[in-house]
Structure 1
Amino acid sequence: MKGVLNLVSVGPGFADLIVPRAEVALKNSDIIVAYELYLRWIEPWLTDKEIHTPPLTQERERALLAIEKARSGAKVALISSGDIGIYAMAALAFDEMREDDGYEVNVIPGITSANACASLLGSPLSHDFATLSLSDLLCPWDWIEQRGKRIAQADLACVLYNVQSAGRSQGVYRILNIMLESKSPKTLCGVVRNAYRPDQSVNIHLLEDLPSLQFDMLTTIVIGNRFTQRKRSFIFTPRGYNAWETAQDEALKHDLPQQAFWIFSGTSDGNALANHLAAQGYPVVISTATEYGGDVAAQHCPGVAIWAGQHGVEARKQVLQQTQARGLIDATHPYASLMSGQLMGLSQSLGMPYLRYERASVFSADSAQLCCSTQHAAEQAVALGKRIFLSTGSKDLATFLKAPGAKQCEWFVRVTPEPEFIQRAIDLGVPRSHICAMQGPFSQAFNEALWRDWTIDCVVSKDSGDVGGYQAKVAATRALGIPLLVIERPKLNYPRMSSTFEDVLQYAQSWS
């Protein structure tokens, strides 16, 4: 008698999501080979069946057992969750079967983790997308990283499988940082755990917030593209029925000049640099990461074109090409290493000149204790203080608030007065009464009064230079007799770097 090998997909976890063809295959099979967990989903079709359940780590044994039974003439169902042809058992079964095998093979499709999670989030995969498994058990990690880079550079929506396990805890953060190198930090994402199973959870986050979260093997991450939007409690990626906004539309909408120097700013000295170049008669565009930064630039740089918002690498690339930018001047914050990396990459890919302008450091060993990283600063702050003030911005708040011993401390933060930054602090558990939402820099007198009123016993800052109010912080902490921790500036290999307007002007003249 000719055997049958049914490769059966049983979906994400609820019986009502098992397709009718899978039900028929299960009913017509005499032998069931499955991981034991899957039996609960197909229980209605197990009566009078011969059942084999090799454990989770014995995938090959399961495939070989099912093939052996089919060769002997039995009708066998090899079961997999999701779709058996996507990161699952079908490929292993085909690997192990022989060309001269005579049994019938039927592959029954199912609802994948990507489909299931997308349906719970809304419609984030409506345009081109990719899937990427983060398990390096069967795939070299450098392959995973390279594929992640290509996905990010193409700004594809993507679904991350096998996100995190006890023995593989850091890979997901490496991939998320790779995504952030090319995608906008404001890209909408979904984090789904136990889709269509008990204890299901569905949450929407910005890409920049994901590195501060914890995941597990039951979690799937869906990352949108630059067009992904939020509506009601859902996210969706437009299919294109209402047309796309092109780089030319962007350039016309913002009246961006041609052949201008693009200054990537968001700092007061960056805006001052833009005014300096504009005063020499050069066309200048200031690009800021936030709308608030754009408003500040417009206020202090009258007559200079502004392009504000978190656009992502691909959108920047298109508008720089469309406007035939003359060169890129990176005057972002000294700690905006991610943005600097993106701009250097854009410079190389577009063949445009790049210059890093960075305010000079004024840190000295007798003014504060230097910490080599944000994590180091968090550990030192917990060791030194109980009422800790963070003047480090909103981006790294999670590192401090989730550090060992952090729950025994009270945290006070100063953030830029953007609603999303304030909300981020609230979401991380900072009481509203402990949030100072103001634009700096601040005087020694202001710092002293605030820290004295809040009875602060430790301050954490960055090496922000004179323009960033660093000396005022040093003076205030000395006057109050409390420790000041300073996070060291990131070290990047800039191709060209300057700390004076005169040097920048000289470079700019050579680009003309």
Structure 2
Amino acid sequence: MQSEGKQTGLLSIVSTGPGNIQQLTPAALKAIAKAEYVIGNNVYIDLIRPLIEGKEVVKSPMGEEVNRAQLALDLAEKHRVAMVSGGDAGVYGMAGIVIEVAERTGSTVAIEVIPGVTAATAAASCIGSPLSGDYVTLSLSDLLTPWEVIGMRLDHASAMGVPLAIYNPRSRGRPHNLDTALAIISKHREDETPVAVVKNAYRPGEERHIMTLDELKADTSIVDMHSIVIIGGLESRIWKVGDDVRGIITPRGYHRKYVY
């Protein structure tokens, strides 16, 4: 989106994908390369450290998103600024708050959003094809959304019968949110529903776990804030070759139309 202001700068909200530099898009690499300033959360800055040598780097912790957005807008009045955001900046990322702050302050800074690989699709690619058709993404973080609203959304989404990709599933500050969410989901899904937990997708320490909904309900200890939990839909199944569990398949419907 381009503004009609007279500023010479540009604010690029850059999606850095799951964390591996190889997963960045060419457009993201170009925006970072051209930036004079790079701003972002400590974790995401560290993941792209080889790309930002010689640039002015501003790191800020979680919880400082509004101040980070305002600083980026201020700098972008006269400079090229890259605001880096993990996954896709428009999916639980920085694009929303930056544009909100720009709107509320009447900023005329030129802003562009560079899309990227979001955590749901990164995790899905690690375990086959669990999100082949319609699916729902939900976050269990109640820092910005009341739990009553999250619970209502979980209930409706589970009733749809499509796969669910759950962000922010479990943390030290809210260890029981996932248990509560699984209880809601279980009202609409069988115990044998395929489930995947993918931790640190495309980052060091990556883990892939395939199980059933009942098995995850019995022990959620493997799940943390670096995890994405994918709950299969009504047609999802575990993909095996012999006794080797390869992942999860959610048929898109080709079997209804073609012979293969």
Compute the TM-score of the two structures, normalised by the length of structure 1.
0.46
Within 5 Å, give how 1:34-433 maps onto structure 2: 34-71=40-77, 73-98=78-103, 100-213=106-219, 214=221, 215-232=223-240, 233-243=246-256
TM-score (norm 2): 0.90
The higher relative CO (CA closer than 8 Å, separation ≥ 6) is in 2
Counterpart of 1:2 in structure 2: which amino acid? T
In structure 2, the residue matched to 1:399 is: none
* Cα deviation digits, residues 392-433 of structure 1 (max 9, x gap): xxxxxxxxxxxxxxxxxxxxxxxxxxxxxxxxxxxxxxxxxx
Q: Deviations over 1:325-354 (max 9, x none)?
A: xxxxxxxxxxxxxxxxxxxxxxxxxxxxxx
Gaps (5+ residues) in structure 1? 245-512
Deviation at 1:3, TM superposition (A): 1.4
Per-residue deviation at 1:103?
Answer: 2.2
Is the contact made by 2:45 and 2:59 (CA closer than 8 Å) also made in structure 1? no
Please name the residue that 2:3 is paired with.
Answer: none
Looking at secondary structure, tell me which structure has more helix per residue: 1
Distance of 1:75 and 1:129 partners within structure 2? 37
Asked if residue 15 in structure 1 is aligned to residue 28 in structure 2, the reply is no
Q: Which amino acid aligns with 1:88?
A: G
Structure 2 Cα separation of the partners of residues 55 and 158 of structure 1: 29
Report the alpha carbon displacement of residue 243 of structure 1 after superposing the two structures with TM.
1.1
Q: Is the Cα–Cα contact under 8 Å of residues 19 and 86 in structure 2 kept in the other structure?
A: yes
Tell me if structure 2 keeps the 8 A contact 1:118–1:125: yes
Question: Where does residue 28 of structure 1 map in the other structure?
Answer: 34
Q: Helix, strand or coil for the counterpart of 1:128? A: coil
% of aligned pairs identical?
35
CA-CA distance at 1:140 after TM superposition: 0.5
Structure 2: how far apart are the matches of 1:218 and 1:98? Answer: 31
Instruction: Give, in whole Å, the separation in 1 of the partners of 2:14 and 2:198.
Output: 24
Query: How many residues get paired?
Result: 243
- SS where residue 62 of structure 1 aligns? helix
2:9 aligned with 1:3: yes
How far the C-alpha of 1:88 sits from its partner, in A, is 1.0
Distance 1:98 1:179, change over 3 A: closer
d(CA) in 2 for partners of 1:75, 1:88: 20
The Cα of 1:101 is off from its aligned counterpart by 2.7
Report the CA distance between 1:159 and its aligned residue. Answer: 0.6
> In structure 1, what is the Cα distance between the partners aligned to 2:211 and 2:133?
20
- Report the 3-state secondary structure (helix = DSSP H, G, I; strand = E; otherwise coil) of the residue aligned with 1:189: strand
Q: What are the residue-to-residue correspondences of 1:470-485 with 2, within 5 Å?
A: none
SS of 1:221's equivalent? strand
Query: Partners in 1 of 2:132 and 2:25 — Cα distance?
Result: 22
Cα deviation for residue 35 of structure 1 reads 1.4
Structure 1's consecutive aligned runs of 4 or more residues displaced over 3 angstroms after TM superposition are: none
What CA distance in whole angstroms lies between the structure 2 residues aligned with 1:44 and 1:21?
Answer: 17
* 8 Å contact from structure 1 (residues 54, 61) kept in 2: no
Deviation readout 1:138-189 (Å, 9 max, x if unpaired):
0000000000000111112011110111120111111101111111111111
Residue by residue over 1:249-276, the C-alpha shift from the partner in whole angstroms, topping out at 9 and shown as x without a partner, is xxxxxxxxxxxxxxxxxxxxxxxxxxxx
What's the C-alpha RMSD, in Å, of the aligned pairs?
A: 1.4
Amino acid at match of 1:220: I
- Quick check: 1:194–1:219 contact (8 Å CA) kept in 2? yes
Q: State the distance in 2 between where 1:188 and 1:51 align.
A: 43
1:70 is matched by which residue type in structure 2?
A
Paired residues of 2:155 and 2:184 also in contact (CA < 8 A): yes
Distance 1:15 1:31 in 2: 19
8 Å Cα contact 2:39/2:45 also seen in 1: no
Provide the residue aligned with 2:243 in structure 1.
none
The offset of 1:55, in angstroms, is 1.4
Counterpart of 2:226 in structure 1: which amino acid?
A: L
